[in-house]
Amino acid sequence: MMLPLFSSSSSSFLACTEAACSPSFPLLIRYQRRRRRRRSIVCSPFHDHYCCCLSLTLSNKRPGIRAIDSATAEAAAVAVGTFLDLGISEKETDALLLKLTPFQFQSIRTQIHLLQNLGITGHLLSKLIKKRPGLLIAKETHSLLSFLSHDPKLKGVIQPAQLARLLLTPATDPNKFLSGFEAKVGLLLDLGIPIESLPHVLNNLNLGKALCFKSLEDIERMVSYLRGFGGVDLILGRPAILNFDLDSQLLPRIEFLLNMSGGDEAATTTVLLKLPFILAYSVDHYTNHVHFFRSFAGLTDEEIFKIILVYPSLFSASRERKLHPRIQFLKQCGFSSNDIYKLLIKAPLFLSLSFEDNLAHKLVLLLKIGYEHGTKELGLAMGWVCRTSCKNMQEVISLFLNYGLTCEEILAMGKKHPQVLQYNHKSMKQKLDYLTEEMGYEVREMLAFPAFLGYGFDARIKHRFEASSGEGMSINKLFSMSTARFSKKQEKKMPVPITKTS
C-alpha cells in the first residue's frame, strides 16, 4: 500500500505532520525524543502516523519522491530504532540516513539481521555501522553474509571478531574487495583444506591479505607451490602463511633454506613443518644468523643446516642478547668449532633459554657441586642440563646426597655421564631403590656406570635382572650388553627339551 502525502487523522497525527515539516531529519528522532520510548516505535499505535510523516519528510528532502510504501517506512523505522539501541547517537543516525535512499532501508534491515545471526552484535555492530556504513547496502556484503549464514557447513566458520575485522578493512570499493570471497573459500577446500579445519584456517589469518586482495589464480598458484614443501600440513601448522606474497616473500625464503640444505627438498620440508613460523623471517634475517655462525662459531653451511634441521627456532634467538654470549661462553670453556657443533646438535636449547630465569640458576648449582669455570666439563654440563628444569636438577642433586653420595662423587659421575643431571628425579629414585633393595647392590656401584640411571625400568632393568636370576654380574656388564647378545645368552641357559622315544 502506498501512503498518501496528506491524510486526515487525529490531533496526534497533525502534531507529527507539523514536526515533519521542520528541517530535522529523520522525524523519528524528534518523535521518539518526545515519546521517550525508543524501543516501542514499530509496535506503537502511532506507527502508521510515523510512516506517513516519514513519507512527507522524505518528499521534502528528496523532491523526486512523492510517497513510500508501508514496508519501506517500517524498514526505516526498524533501522533507526536499531541504530539508537546500539548506542549510535541521534546526530550520527541523522548523518547515516542522509547518505541513503529510502529504498535502501530494507537492505539495511536485512544486512543487520544477517550480521546479528553471525554473532556481530552490540558494540561490535555499532562500531561496524559507524565506521563502514556503506557495507550495509553493498551487494557483495549481502552475498558474503548470506553465504556464511545459509550453508550449514559454514555456519560459525568465521568468528564474529574475525568477520568484523574483515569488514572493517579499509577498501575503496567494498563490492570489489569482497567480490569472489565465497569462491576463494571454496578453492581452499578444493585444494585440500579439510572442512573441519576451515575455521582454524580462516580465523588465524588476515582475511583481507590472504583472500580479498588476491585473485583466485594467485591463491591457487601459492597453494600449488607449497605442495612441494608440506602443502596443506604446512598451512594448517600456520595459516598466516597465506597472508604472504608468493613472489616477493615465500619464494625467496624457501629457496634460501633449500640452498642451505644443498637442494634437499625433504630436509627443507622437515624444517618448515617443524616450525612454519620460520617463514615469517626475512631473507636478511636468515643471512645475518647464518653469517654469525660461519664467522664467529666457525661452522660450515652443512653443519649450520643440520642444527637448523634439529632446531629451527635457532632463527628466533637474538644474535646480540643470546647467540653471541652463549658461543663466547663455550669458547671460553675451550670448545673448538667441532665441539660447538656437537653440543648444539644435542642441546640446541642452550642457545635460546633465558639466562636470568634459567641458565644462571643451573650454572650456580653446577659450580656448587664442584664444576670449575672455563672447563670443557662445565660447558658440556650446561648443555645437558638445558633439557631439565631447575627444580628437577635440584631434586636430582638432593636425591644423590640423601643416598650418601658426596658432591665430589656427584661431580665425578657428571663428568663421566653428563646426562645424569637431566634425568627425572622420581624415575631415578625408583631405579636406586630397586638397585639397593631388590638387586642388593651398593649405591656406589652406580658410580662406575651412571648410564644405568638412563635405562627404562621395566623393559630393561627389571626384566634383565629377573631374567639373569641374580648371577652377580656388575651392573655395567648386565645392562650395557646389546639386546641381541643378552637374548642369545639367555637361550643358551635354557634347558634342552627331552623328547620321549617309543
Could you please report the per-residue DSSP string of 143-205?
HHHHHHHH-TTTTTSS-HHHHHHHHTS--S-HHHHHTTHHHHHHHHHHTT--GGGHHHHHTTS
> Which amino acid would we find at residue 138?
A
**HSE, side-chain direction, 13 A CA sphere, residue 429:** 11
- At 261 the three-state DSSP class reads coil
- What pLDDT score was predicted for residue 499? 53
Give residue 72's pLDDT.
Answer: 65
* Sequence letter at residue 295: S
Q: Helix, strand or coil for residue 300?
A: coil
Q: Are 428 and 396 in contact (CB under 8 A)?
A: yes
Tell me how far CA of residue 99 lies from CA of 354, 398, 414, in angstroms.
57, 77, 78
pLDDT for position 472: 67
pLDDT of residue 152: 78
Cis bond upstream, residue 418 (ω within 30): no
Cell numbers at 108, concatenated:
539495511
**H-helix segments, 314-462:** 324-332, 337-346, 360-368, 376-384, 390-402, 407-416, 425-433
What residues have CB less than 8 Å from 374, skipping those under 6 apart? 332, 333, 334
Q: Is residue 396 within 8 Å of 425, Cβ to Cβ? A: yes
Here the cell at position 303 is: 653443519
Residue type, 413: M
Please tell me the distance from the alpha carbon of residue 195 to that of residue 156, in angstroms, as a whole number: 12
Q: How far apart are CA 179 and CA 386, in angstroms?
A: 52
Q: Are 175 and 143 in contact (CB under 8 A)?
A: no
Going by the DSSP 8-state scheme, the letter that residue 318 receives in this structure is -
Contact indicator for 102, 61 with CB cutoff of 8 Å: no
For residue 224, the model assigns a pLDDT of 94
CB 202 within 8 A of CB 185: yes
DSSP run (H or E) holding 17: helix 11-20
Q: Is 349 helix (H, G, I), strand (E, B) or coil?
A: helix
Q: Tell me the C-alpha distance between 16 and 73, whole Å.
A: 15
- In this structure, what C-alpha cell is assigned to residue 449? 656406570
Are 265 and 258 contacting, i.e. CB atoms less than 8 angstroms apart? yes
Query: What SS3 state is found at 5?
Result: coil
What integer pLDDT is reported at residue 1 of this predicted model? 39
Q: What is the pLDDT of residue 70?
A: 66
- What is the C-alpha to C-alpha distance for residues 378 and 333, in angstroms, rounded to an integer? 7
Picking from 287, 274, 342, the residue whose alpha carbon sits closest to that of residue 313 is 274
CA distance 152 to 448: 67
The alpha-carbon radius of gyration of the chain (Å, integer) is 37
The C-alpha atoms of residue 281 and residue 247 are separated, in whole angstroms, by: 15
Quote the pLDDT of residue 248.
96
pLDDT of residue 476: 85
Burial class for 373, CB neighbours closer than 10 Å (0-12, 13-18, 19+): exposed
**DSSP letter for each residue of 171-184:** -S-HHHHHTTHHHH
For residue 72, which amino acid is it?
Answer: T
Distance, CA of 320 to CA of 15 (rounded, Å)? 77
Q: What is the DSSP string of 433-464?
A: HIIIIIS---GGGGGG-GGGGGS-IIIIIIHH
Give the pLDDT means over successive 10-residue stretches in the chain (502 positions): 34 35 40 40 41 48 50 68 74 72 70 88 85 81 88 84 89 80 92 93 94 94 95 96 96 97 96 96 97 96 97 95 95 96 95 92 94 93 92 94 93 90 93 90 89 90 81 80 79 58 50
